[in-house]
């Protein structure tokens, strides 16, 4: 309770992107309940988050949220760590060849 009662927000189709020739853009963004793929937590992807994802940062209209916030942050840290190790590996290679 408490979750899942956000006001729908009208979609701005001029800002939406789709790889499809016949895109199916929503008229409004509604709460999208989902279970986090990582930890199984019950989450709600809010209209505000969807508008930001699709319209502000150009997210593909076919994509939806699959991870809860803590898992997203965790996954981003893991990715950054992998990138850092990768770059260090490259730097090391450069130094010793």
Candidates 38, 51, 59, 66; binder of Zn ion (CB under 5 A) is 38
Within 8 A by CB and 6+ apart from 28, the residues are 8, 9, 10, 11, 47
Site string for Zn ion, 52-81 (x = CB under 5 A): ----------------x--x----------
CB of 35 to Zn ion, least distance (A): 9
Strands (E), the chain: 9-10, 28-29, 32-35, 42-45
CB of 46 to Zn ion, least distance (A): 16
Residue numbers of the site for Zn ion (CB under 5 A)? 36, 38-39, 41, 68, 71
């Amino acid at each position: 309770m408490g979750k899942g009662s956000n006001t729908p927000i009208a979609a701005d189709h001029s800002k939406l992107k789709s790889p499809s020739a016949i895109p199916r853009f929503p008229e409004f963004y509604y709460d999208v309940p989902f279970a986090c793929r990582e930890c199984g937590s019950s989450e709600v992807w809010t209209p505000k988050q969807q508008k930001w994802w699709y319209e502000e940062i150009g997210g593909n209209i076919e994509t939806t949220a699959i991870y809860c916030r803590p898992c997203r942050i965790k996954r981003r840290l893991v990715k950054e760590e992998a990138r850092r190790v990768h770059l260090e590996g490259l730097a090391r290679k450069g130094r010793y060849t």
